[in-house]
Chains A and B, each alone.
Chain A
Amino acid sequence: MKRGDYLVLALALALLPVLYFHFWNLGGRGEQVIIRSPNSSPQSYPLQQNRRIEVQGAKGPSIIEIHEGQVRFIDSPCQNKQCVLSGWLHSDGQIAACLPNGISIQVQGRDARYDTFNF
């Protein structure tokens, strides 16, 4: 084995984990939630980081909570609280919305599997 051989081998072996991390989501990039509100661009947040988000909607603020890989509506200025009743969302494609307020939250796996939903 010559010097160049070692170099090529080292580069090749270094390349492989990069490929796995990037295309197999082995780096724990995990899932995210996309929060949509009227008249502003979608915001996405990783589900790994616990946080509470206030989003302005047509009728007022909706409060959304992310906790250990799950997300839900805590409160919304609507009457029926349908959004809150939807509970925790955690897997790709799950969606909850406060229609009166125009806010929706949608969980997305790393590879967005669907372009849109029929529900």
Chain B
Amino acid sequence: MKLKIQTIRDDHRIAWLTALAITIHIAEAALPSPLPGVKPGLANVVTLLCLLLYGWRIAAWVTVLRVVVGSLLLGSFLTPTFVLSLAGAAASVLVLGLAKQTGGSLLGPIGYSLLAALAHMAAQFFTAYTFFIPHEGLFHLLPILMTVAVVFGVVSGLITKQVLDRLEKMT
């Protein structure tokens, strides 16, 4: 059973996680991508941690902050990159929320992470297609992007699990 009352320690932790999320977001911007602006979504690790530790509301907040502040710092606020980040982040947060509500007991960090990664990539792709590049040929990239999503989904799931295990050991 989780404690409903947030401790000061938790506040610090949430702030720290947000900072981490922003850092990862900015680092990800340096990654090359077959489709410019579309990112694997490693920062989702933080979203997932927040979801599992502190609930959906916090996860959603941290994610929004991550995208907005991250893009402000990168100078990409309100650019296409920002729109894509936001779409991906929104999709993964919503899917994570639904997953937790409907099958929370059956899912571990890897399952959640995969779902988030798939939603993230799909949303980014279709946002890119609808608003920025309405070209048939774009679909040629979709299988690759989704493969990347699956790989990163599993990887971030494993990372999340490691972090959770360490936190367990600490408390």
**Do A's and B's CB atoms come within 8 Å in the complex?**
yes
Residues of A in contact (CB 8 Å), total 18
Across the interface, do A16 and B115 meet the contact criterion of CB distance under 8 Å?
no
Identify the closest chain A residue to B115 (Cβ): A8
B108 CB to closest chain A CB (Å) equals: 4
A57 CB to closest chain B CB (Å) equals: 32
A99 CB to closest chain B CB (Å) equals: 31
* Residues 1-24 of A contacting B (Cβ, < 8 Å): 1-9, 12-13, 15-16, 19-20, 23-24
A24 proximity list for chain B (CB < 8 A): 140, 143
Identify the closest chain B residue to A21 (Cβ): B143
Residues of B in contact (CB 8 Å), total 22
Identify the closest chain B residue to A25 (Cβ): B140
A16 proximity list for chain B (CB < 8 A): 143, 146-147, 150
Across the interface, do B140 and A9 meet the contact criterion of CB distance under 8 Å?
no
Across the interface, do B106 and A20 meet the contact criterion of CB distance under 8 Å?
no
B111 proximity list for chain A (CB < 8 A): 2, 4-9
Tell me the A residues contacting B by CB distance below 8 Å: 1-9, 12-13, 15-16, 19-20, 23-24, 111
